[in-house]
Copies of this chain bind each other. A is one copy, B any other.
Amino acid sequence: MTRSTDPLVIFTPSGRRGHIPAGTTVLDAARTLGVDIDSVCGARGICGRCQVSVGVGTFPKHGITSSAESLSPFGDVEAGYRAEKGLAADRRLGCTATVLADCLVDVPQESQVHRQVVRKGLDVRTFEIDPIVRLHYVEVERPELASPSGDLIRLYEALEREWGLTGLESDLHVVRALQPALAEGDYAVTVAVHEGRTVTAVWPGYHEDLFGVAIDVGSTTLAGHLVRLSNGEVLASSGVMNPQIRFGEDLMSRVSYAMLHPEGAGEMTRTVRAALKALVTALARDAGIDRTNILELAFVGNPIMHHLLLGIDPTPLGTAPFALATDRAVRTWAVELGITAHPGARAYVLPCIAGHVGADTAGVILAETPHRAEGEVRLVVDVGTNAEIVLGNRDRLLAASSPTGPAFEGAQISSGQRAAPGAIERVRVDRETLEPRFRIIGSELWSDEPGFAEAAAELGVSGICGSGIVEVIAELFLAGVITADGIIDGSLAERTARIVPDGRTFSYVLHDGEPRILVTQNDVRAIQLAKAALYAGTRLLMDHAGIDAVDEVRLAGAFGSQIDPLHAMVLGLIPDCDLDRVKAAGNSAGTGALIALLSATARREIEDVTRMVEKIETAVEPRFQEHFVDALAFPHKRAPFPNLELRVELPKRANADAGDGARRADRGERRRRREVAAASRNRP
């Protein structure tokens, strides 16, 4: 019962307020008023999670005057905590400071259970923690001869008494560990409660370290982050090669391996799990923590990696209708995936969307939140061997996978290579002289700058990576060396020695060194096919959505982070859009895993979104073929690019000039392209 004569307490930033009897602790006042404030130790002055600061002065906005004397004097418990763990001058422990008079109490972000996490990077994205696992310190009643009840029951009674937790159950290993923990902790223990229901760990006395690992299980790279579950702090990040590469560079060859070898899928599962186990061990070592304090893991991966991680034979994903074993989120134990962590550690694998749109895309959605866009339409593209495309907003969301092939990753390109030191990643071609200049990974210098030769000699100029090939072709197109139809114009050989004959076609000499790096007619064709597939997939989703333009584009993944948006648009990889609203998103899939690791709300959100998202299967859509053929040209045969034209002067179209006659003459070529397109559908 509170009375209006009781002190008025106002909490910020929530703004919650109420009259609270003098002598009430700030923590109890917060709970009474429904203010989100953290605590592990249960108001014993141990954990320091409930830190607050009291406002000093008059706050007209809140209509209150508050001072340091509004709370009880700084006490022994706080002094002890300050001495042992440090406590800022303006901070008080909410569990021990009591309200004496009207006051304004600020609950800083780090004292909130549902605190926000700000991810540093190109794009600042924030999300709110909603802990999957929470720690609770309790003092359990001692057993007595006259009232024999199991220790577990008395633990449950303490958890209900101190934390209001009911209906709990426990892992068997917790039942095993309980009595030794009670003995060691003199009947005080800290337990981890998973999703408010299951006790998954018990430690003697007070325990505060709790960690999680988010892993993006990529075909090439396994990338993990180890974070503190209470505040989302990333303590270690690491990436290792996926050792499954020895079964096949790309996904399709791994599926083939599973098809051709009776034990092949099992072998690949064991291989990736061993690598993940080693990755988790390495992350724990890097972070300087004990592996057994890892209680939660979250995973994303494309459908094939998803299946292999879970020990499911991916063979059905290799042939139509590409049926997933399950598209639901999977909750299991870390130990079931062969990972050594706390014995009660749980693993959460994000849901898949369709046979070619996996848990990695679910992670991308969670990170880029197209499903929350209001009014405007967001396009999210994650380019790898396949491009996963998500389009829409809060009203409607569509997803598809488009078979771009590995050209964007530097494969199928004469001088292509993975993005590694020495690879050409940036290219400019002089519109007049047609001379190139470029930069290689590992050096900030352009090739025409002083000192480049030394840097190049050290690193070695070894080939072109995905972003480099996109840039050089776009630059060659802008310089008129490549026509809108993708032909390297041999007549320019008269003007520059950079154009050289190559059988019946011509090549452009990008670097006349050792090795000599050429852009061949076949390279241009490979990029045309890849970008046409990407564009056609996007265009198909736009058709389904009934729209002609998008408001924002996010390019996810390694390739998406490297390419220059302008060049991507010059080649027509993406539809026309205000270039200021085309953004690299980084490893969104991994970010999605991190969010799912830290937030139960986010898990429910992505499970709902993936159930509702409209899955478009490009293989059964005749319009996909039409769009594909139209998209082979630079930037695109039909689509207008007004935003692009604001930035660069596009070369005149050869076939636009030629008019209808040229288009009719072009029919043979179009039929050939259709055949190429059909062949490229040997998926994935």
Q: A residues touching B (Cβ–Cβ < 8 Å)?
A: 143-153, 170, 172, 175-176, 178-180, 183, 310-313, 316, 320-328, 330, 332, 336, 352, 354-355, 615, 617, 619-620
Q: Which residues of B contact A326 (CB under 8 A)?
A: 150-153, 170, 175, 178
* Pairwise interchain contact B325-A178, C-beta atoms closer than 8 A: yes
With contacts A172-B336, A176-B310 taken as known, whether A322 is within 8 angstroms of B354 at the C-beta atoms is no
Contacts of A151 in B (CB 8 A): 316, 323-326
Ordered by A's residue number, 16 sampled pairs between the chains whose C-beta atoms are within 8 Å are A145-B619, A146-B617, A148-B322, A148-B323, A148-B324, A148-B617, A149-B327, A151-B316, A151-B325, A152-B328, A153-B327, A172-B330, A175-B325, A178-B326, A179-B312, A179-B313
Residues of B within 8 A of A354 (CB): 148
Count identical subunits in the complex: 2
Look across to chain B and name the residue whose beta carbon is closest to the beta carbon of A316. Answer: B179
Contact: A352 with B312, CB < 8 Å? no
Alpha-carbon distance A615/B148, docked complex (angstroms): 7
Select A325's contact among B179, B311, B313, beta carbons within 8 Å: B179
Residue among B143, B144, B322 making CB contact with A145, cutoff 8 Å: B322
- On chain B, the residues within 8 Å of A325 by CB distance are 150-152, 175-176, 178-179
Known: A145-B322, A147-B615, A179-B316. 13 other contacts (CB 8 A): A143-B322, A145-B619, A146-B620, A148-B617, A149-B327, A151-B316, A152-B328, A153-B328, A175-B312, A176-B310, A176-B313, A178-B325, A179-B312
Closest 5 CB pairs of A and B: A143-B323, A150-B327, A152-B326, A148-B354, A145-B321
In the complex, which residues of chain B have a beta carbon less than 8 angstroms from the beta carbon of A170? 326
Complex interface: chain B residues within 8 A of A330 (CB): 172, 175
A312 touches B176 (CB 8 A): yes
Q: How far is the CA of A326 from the CA of B152 in the complex (A)?
A: 5
Complex interface: chain B residues within 8 A of A153 (CB): 326-328
The residue in A145, A148, A310, A321 that gathers the most chain B C-beta atoms within 10 A of its C-beta is: A148
Report how far A143 CA is from B316 CA in the complex, Å: 11
Q: Which residues of B contact A147 (CB under 8 A)?
A: 615
B146:A323 contact, CB within 8 angstroms: no
In the assembled complex, how far is the CB of residue A319 from the closest CB belonging to chain B, in whole angstroms?
Answer: 10
Q: Which residues of B contact A148 (CB under 8 A)?
A: 321-324, 327, 354-355, 615, 617
Closest-CB distance, A509 to chain B (whole angstroms) = 45
Q: How far is the CA of A344 from the CA of B60 in the complex (A)?
A: 64
Name the CB-closest residue of B to A336.
B172
Task: Quote the shortest CB–CB distance from A608 to chain B (angstroms).
Answer: 15
B-chain residues with CB within 8 Å of residue A179 when the two chains form the complex:
312-313, 316, 323, 325
